[in-house]
Structure 1
Amino acid sequence: MTEFASRADGPVLPADLDEAAHRCLVAGFDGKTSVPDTLKRLIDRGLGGVILFTRNVRDAEQVRHLTDTLRALRPDLMVAIDNEGGGIGHLVAAGAPEVPGSWALGVVDDPRLTAACADALAGHLLSLGITASYAPVADVQSRSENPIVRTRAFGDDPDLVSRHLRAWIAATEARGVASCAKHFPGHGGTVTDSHHDLAVDPRPYDRLDLAPFRAAVDAGVPLLMSAHVVFPALDPERPATLSPRILSELLRGELGFEGVLVSDALEMKAIADRYGEAAGARLALAAGADQVVVAVPDPEVVLACRDAVLAALGSGELAEERVTEAAERVRRLALRYARPRRSRAVAAWDGGAGLTAARRAVRSGAPLPEAVPGAYVVDLFPAPHPALNWGGEDLLTEVRAFDPTATGTAVTGEPEDGEGVRSVEAVVGAVLRGAAGRPLVVATCDAGLHPWQGRVRDALLAARPDALPVSTGLPEPGGAVCAYGRGRVNLRAVAEVLTGQAV
């Protein structure tokens, strides 16, 4: 068996085992037009995949050139991206189809429309040379306090979520793009965001939301992503990503999943702060993962994870059979999806499906209001999540596209007392002055999670009982007009209602 040794970056292993270990890695990187040298060396040694982010995107032609460059280095390299729709996507600058978030699709509850939205996203990916999408979200929004799933889920009912998962997976597969149901065995029953800390779902086994994942497996989903969540009913010690009981016994044994199991990003604090990324990579593969993701564009983190896996193989701490099994699953996935099936001239998709869905999703606790021309719009929402893309969408911009006489403000993040920073009271005072003599629209996004929004909203509604409340997250009490998401088309659909343009 040939030995592999080029530079001092890991123990010397047989060439086939070294390549197998590299197939089990997915790496993020910096760059729009060139590939970093470290990444080139990893690809040459068998790197299984790369994950693209907004940092890798300038426009569609540039992305096509980048994916061509990557595949010229290794034709079976998987090129993946998070592409959920709504506010979760990284291809705005590349002309991504506009679709609402999953919750709005669940509100409409028309699987054919969900399939049309998924088809549009997958068709666009294929045209760019991206053939793996880390979507859809299979989580059920089971806890009102959950800070990370929310409108990314199709809903709070497992049967509804399963219906729309099947539609999404089938449409994506028909395009020749690999879909990925996430985050197994569910992140919707937590009150912690695993990007920031270890999350725990305390429910007993029979209350866990496994049905959508069973539906995804039955639908033939080729990829599943694990959750950095502890489930005491399954494994009281380790998060799912590192748990043999959850990944091997439950997912493989009981659910019968035969595709590629990929970890959520290892640099998330649920893993990084307790285990470290390198140990996380070794433990995840030992537990049953087939690929581990390092999304940050830090080659040292990627190399540390790779070296930990190589060292564990060399010492026998990580079984060769486990890594070769994982690498074989990745190889089969690559044979099926790594190369785009068709030329870049892919079949057209329904570019209007997303706006149609967003329009149909708009709801209100009362009859939808009449138009409010010349309104003052205050849009309150939390600062963008650092791990999720946000294109800067705001409701005022969408309203002004139909009614240039509208004015207002967007407030992103809690206003506090201090030099140069507005307090809640100052914001309320400024809004009331600006809205004098005008209709007032007050939009919030998940005010239950962000009490400052509730304080601003309640003060404004107390001073202006005629004000129209709007919710751009999950429904708020008080008869608000609901968009069920902050994707651009969600906001546009609400803006059409507010300006009398609704069709």
Structure 2
Amino acid sequence: MNVARLLLPVIRWDAENGFEGFRESIERGLELGVGGFILFGGEARAVRALTDELHRRAPHPLLIASDLERGAGQQFRGATPLPPAAALGSLDDEALAERAGELTAREARALGVNWIYAPVADVDLEPENPIIGVRAFGSAPDGVARQVAAWVRGCTRGGALSCAKHFPGHGRTVGDSHIERPTVRVSREQLEQDLAPFRAAIGAGVDSLMTAHVAYPALDPEGRPATLSPPIIGGLLRGELGYGGLVVTDAIIMEGMTEGGSEATASVEALAAGCDALLYPQDNEAVIAEVRAAVGDGRLPRERVEDALRRIAEAAERVAGPAGGGWGADDDRRWALETAVRTLRVCRGEPRLPAGRVRIEEIEDDGGGPWPPYPRHAFPAALQAAGVEVADDGAPLVVLYSDIRAWKGRPGISAAARARVRELTAAHPEATVVLFSHPRLASDIPTAGNLLAAWGGEGIMQEAAVAWLTGQTGGMVGLGGGLDR
């Protein structure tokens, strides 16, 4: 019984060293016989070269996973990026969501990635939520359920495994499970709203579910997070919802799972609760040793581990073998940009480019956390490509970046950023403000008389804003990568 196959360690791209910074981890993972890896970042051709190597050298079919909520281009430079789920959901078009899922899966498989950690099936029920926001398709449970089901159908058609997350719903939290263990204190009846998209995903044939490191006393009175909760996974998911497929933890390095304790001990608890795959361990050997010890002393039934290994093997077999095709095709990129432009929202006034030369007044509100925000070069590059002269002595165009980001710890616009908008709009009342965040944050900057909301700071949304302002939908430049789960 190779318990190492329960694990999916991380491989991250580094701008200087590519994937070689994780070479030791790659070699050790293959030697141990892990079930797969989760990939973050990378140039598309380098990603394909790496996954070819991993698939070729592994002793069994691998699950190669990635967070691709916003298309394969969210992580892999050269593939097609897509707008955030909330932007797509605002168009209320199931055919569009299905195409997004199909495109994401098709490009992922071409890159050697076969397990997509999407769609987000959370409902955006709490505006103060610091981690979901635009990652969800919307705030209406029925509408989110339809979009999730459509995305799953598209992903299936594209040939990759889908993963609805974060069961049983992360949309009501006011804490970020990367840095704490949030608790959702609502009734079982109210939680039916949260469960609706997961029911729809299961009905659409979703391949896997990812658990939330969130406590729900109405579902588990002992206050265990869903990842560690037998009543939530065994009783609700396996029993009431009748789901028999693969269950993966959210990253086991997150504080919401470990609460300062050992990831090895928490991993045993997750397996005992009904999870099958352990995502993002930092110490593979420690987790493997603890699982073996738990089986040996009876804390973890052997049958439970064998069941988890069976599900992992079956899922990997379904997507084994090479997949052809390419990524970043012009038609797909054009469709993505045109779709992104359609999602933009005029929140106030008449946003427009200033006449003549333009001075970009950039307000950065996405600091904090271990990973940098999306690159900001796509916006000025797209302006220049559209024939706009960008100069320090031009008329101001205010761009405010305030995304939902893991570890950031807040959903709204900071006091410092709001003050800067007030300062600029007081001096230039006619100035247009482009808000790269959820349109509902328009209320945080009431002095912006001409306000365009672009949902998020990804490269594609930067280009979409320029395309809207200039009336052009030319070739895309920005291909920023994302790191949220």
Does TM, normalized by the shorter one, top 0.5? yes
- Give the superposition deviation at 1:401: 3.2
Provide closer, same or farther for how the CA distance between residues 219 and 347 of structure 1 changes in structure 2, counting only shifts above 3 A: farther
Distance in 2 of aligned mates of 1:292 and 1:313: 16
The alpha carbon displacement at 1:190 in A equals: 0.7
- Gaps of at least 5 residues in structure 1 are 1-16, 409-433
**Number of the residue aligned with 1:81:** 66
Change (3 A) 1:28 1:450: same
Counterpart position of 1:463: 427
Q: Distance in 1 between matches of 2:310 and 2:372?
A: 32
2:271 is aligned with 1:285: yes
Between the aligned partners of 1:88 and 1:141, the Cα distance in structure 2 is: 24
SS of the residue aligned with 2:310?
Answer: helix
Are 2:386 and 1:405 aligned? no
TM-superposition CA deviations, 1:318-340 (whole Å, max 9, x none):
11011111111111111111334
Q: How many residues align?
A: 448
1:294 equivalent in structure 2: 280
AA in 2 matched with 1:443:
L
Measure the CA separation in 2 of the matches of 1:385 and 1:339: 40
What TM-score, normalized to structure 1? 0.82
> Are 2:260 and 1:244 aligned?
no
**What pairs with 1:187-206 in structure 2 (closer than 5 Å)?**
187-206=170-189
**Match among 208, 213, 226 for residue 223 of structure 1:** 208
Cα separation, 1, equivalents of 2:215 and 2:370:
21
Q: Deviations over 1:378-426 (max 9, x none)?
A: 2324336646774413544433332442346xxxxxxxxxxxxxxxxxx
Please give the per-residue CA displacement for 1:188-216, whole angstroms capped at 9, x wherever unaligned: 11111111111121222222211011111
Q: Which residue of 2 aligns with 1:63?
A: 47
The verdict on how the C-alpha distance between 1:269 and 1:352 changes in structure 2, with shifts beyond 3 A counting, is same
Q: CA deviation at 1:87?
A: 11
When residues 444 and 333 of structure 1 are mapped into structure 2, their CA distance, relative to the original with a 3 A threshold, is closer
Specify the code of the residue in structure 2 equivalent to 1:364: V
User: Residue 259 of structure 1: which of 240, 245, 249 is its match?
Assistant: 245
Deviation at 1:78, TM superposition (A): 1.0
Helix, strand or coil: the match of 1:484? coil
Correspondence for 2:481: none
- Tell me the SS of whatever aligns to 1:257: coil
Q: How does 1:88-487 map to 2 (within 5 A)?
A: 89-92=74-77, 95-208=78-191, 209-236=194-221, 237-294=223-280, 298=282, 301-340=283-322, 342-344=323-325, 350-366=332-348, 368-373=350-355, 374-383=357-366, 386=369, 390-393=373-376, 395-407=379-391, 438-445=395-402, 448-475=412-439, 476-477=442-443, 478=446, 480-487=451-458
Q: Provide, for residues 68-119 of structure 1, a one-character-per-residue CA deviation record: whole Å limited to 9, x for no partner.
A: 2111222411111111117983212xx1102111111011122222222222
SS at match of 1:79: strand
Distance of aligned partners of 1:367 and 1:64 in 2 relative to their CA distance in 1, 3 Å threshold: same
Letter paired with 1:53:
F
Could you tell me which amino acid in structure 2 is paired with residue 330 of structure 1?
I
Q: Quick check: 2:79–2:328 contact (8 Å CA) kept in 1?
A: no
Structure 2 distance, partners of 1:260, 1:388, is 29
Does the aligned pair in 1 maintain the 2:366–2:373 contact within 8 Å? no
Q: Is the Cα contact below 8 Å between 1:379 and 1:396 reproduced in 2? A: no
Q: Cα deviation per residue 1:453-493 (whole Å; 9 max; x = unaligned)? A: 21211232233222222221111124621111222221211
| Preserved CA contact (<8 Å) 2:101 2:151 | yes
Deviations 1:327-377 (A, max 9, x none): 11111111111334x435699773322112111101113465344232332
CA gap of 1:35–1:498, structure 2 versus 1, over 3 A, is closer
Equivalent in the alignment of 1:414: none
Letter in 1 for 2:47: V
Q: Flag the 1:206–1:226 CA change in 2: closer, same or farther, 3 A.
A: same
Instruction: Answer yes or no: is the 8 Å Cα contact 1:399–1:498 preserved in 2.
Output: no
- Give the residue type in structure 2 aligned to 1:480: L
Change (3 A) 1:390 1:312: same
The CA distance in 1 between the partners of 2:242 and 2:328, in whole Å, is 33
> Using a 3 Å threshold, how does the CA distance of structure 1 residues 192 and 277 change in structure 2: closer, same or farther?
same
Q: What is the one-letter code of the residue matched to 1:26?
A: L
Structure 1 Cα separation of the partners of residues 188 and 50 of structure 2:
45
Closer/same/farther in 2, CA of residues 193 and 397 from structure 1, 3 Å limit: farther
CA distance in 2, matches of 1:228, 1:458: 38
Q: CA deviation at 1:242?
A: 0.6
Distance in 2 (alpha carbons) for counterparts of 1:502 and 1:368: 20
Judged with a 3 Å threshold, the aligned counterparts in structure 2 of structure 1 residues 99 and 346 are, in CA distance, closer, same or farther, namely: closer
Q: Which residue of 1 aligns with 2:478?
A: none
Amino acid at match of 1:343: G
Rounded Cα–Cα distance in structure 2 between residues aligned with 1:284 and 1:160: 31
Alpha-carbon separation, structure 2, partners of 1:318 and 1:218: 31
User: 1:182-241 CA deviation, whole Å, 9 max, x = no partner?
Assistant: 111111111111111111212222222110111111111001101111112112421111
Taking a change above 3 Å as real, the CA distance of residues 36 and 492 of structure 1, as seen in their structure-2 partners, is: closer
Cα distance in 1 for partners of 2:21, 2:321 equals: 20
